[in-house]
Each structure stands twice: as C-alpha cells, then as structure tokens.
Amino acid sequence: MPKKYGLSFSWKRLVGLSGLKNKVARKTGIPLTKSGLERKIGRIAIKSVKKLVK
C-alpha cells in the first residue's frame, strides 16, 4: 500500500514498541537493529585485531 501525503501508520509506534526498543538499546548500549548490531560487532572485531597486531 503506497503512502499518501507523507503519512503512514505503524501499529508498533501506536502500541509503544518502537519507543521501548529505543530505550532498551540506549540503556544497554547494544543496538537492536540488524545493521546496528553488525556495525557494533564489526567495530569490536577490528579493535581486537588492531590490539593483536600491536
């Protein structure tokens, strides 16, 4: 269903799920999105490799 006039409906936002996930991610420091989690894991892996090389 295409969006009309820039408006969209999200049941997750209506229920408050998006806000809850955002709060959890901020408090724990662990992103809950797939791409965010992959970035964080990649960053940790690169840092550990750099430490081994030094």
**29-43 residue pLDDT tens:** 999 999 999 999 999
C-alpha span between 18 and 50 (Å, rounded): 36
Q: Residue 7 forms beta bridges with which residues?
A: 4
C-alpha span between 20 and 22 (Å, rounded): 5
pTM here is 0.58
Helix, coil or strand: residue 10: coil
**5-27 residue pLDDT tens:** 767 788 888 888 889 999 999 99
C-alpha span between 22 and 47 (Å, rounded): 26
